[in-house]
Amino acid sequence: MSARAIGCFVVGTIALLGRPAELASVSVTPMAVYIDHRTRSGEIILFNPGSRTEEIRVDFAFGYPRTNASGQVVVPLSDTAPDGEPSAVPWLSAFPQRLRLPPGQRQTLRILARPPSGLEQGEYWARARIHAQGGQAPVESRIDGVGVQIDLNTTVVIAVNYRNGTMTTGVKMEEPDAWMRGDTVFHDVRVERTGNAAFLGRLLIEVLDEEGILLEEHEEVLPVYRVMHRRFITPPVERGVPARVRYTVDTNRDDLPPGGVLPAEGVVREIAIR
């Protein structure tokens, strides 16, 4: 999985979260849609690269990237949002909501926002789920000597953020921690979002020697909707002796559509490795 990937799991259907949809039977671009209070709509392009017609259905769920107890990024989805969460799900719709996409064809799909009157200023979150079925040949298998066919249904999940009014964002970082075990550096980094919109940034990790010479660098996508507490390791250093780590959190992202990344001041912390 690349450093740009947010997550991927397989449970009967294939669900792709925040990564290119080349593994799916239908290609979806872009992988995030940002709608503001002036336009109240956004577009995605569906493309069927296969040899069979796809039956496509679109719906919406609530969810955003967060970290679990192991420091891994997960995007749990639910049909309704917990109380107090800024959900756009109840007033989003797709046009068309259902369609047939022949092989080799493209289709523009519009996401429409109809927010309630008097909506408070801020950013509201949802995930669009593009369900496709029928385009992939069934997988044939045998269970206890009995032949079976398993139909593969694909679900591509993309971010939909609705921005109402003036948006501000940023992050604050707690004192990070870094330690050595053998030739490997372990990291513990916690950042919290400020402002009224998600911080769509990245974390750059630079492992330095005692003289400040760069020995190794590693980049991680860092979307901070509320809090992200990352725990991970960087590749073993091949030369030199690691002594310090510099962490930079900024908005240097080239994988999101124009207008997606909100401007924000970067944060830099440099600490000794223990």
**What are the 10-residue block averages of pLDDT along the chain, 274 residues in total?**
34 40 74 95 95 95 96 95 96 97 96 96 97 68 60 87 97 97 94 98 97 95 97 90 97 92 97 96
- Rounded to 5 degrees, φ, ψ at 89 are -55, -45
Among the candidates 131, 164, 197, a domain finishes at 164
Rounded-to-integer distance, Cα 63 and Cα 85, Å:
10
Q: Are residues 243 and 127 in the same domain?
A: no
Residue 199, domain CATH: 2.60.40.10
Q: Are residues 28 and 129 in the same domain?
A: yes
In degrees, rounded to 5, the angle at the alpha carbon of residue 2 between the alpha carbons of residues 155 and 85 is 55
Q: Are residues 175 and 143 in the same domain?
A: no
Q: What is the pTM of this model?
A: 0.85
Using one digit for the tens of pLDDT, what is the confidence trace for 56-80?
A: 999 999 999 999 999 999 999 999 9
Q: Is residue 150 part of a domain?
A: yes
Instruction: Residue count of the chain, please give it.
Output: 274
Return the DSSP state at 182. T
Q: Are residues 125 and 193 in the same domain?
A: no
Rounded-to-integer distance, Cα 208 and Cα 246, Å:
8
Q: Which residues of 75-89 are buried (b: 16+ CB within 10 A; e: fewer)?
A: bebeeebeeebbbbb
pLDDT of residue 183: 87
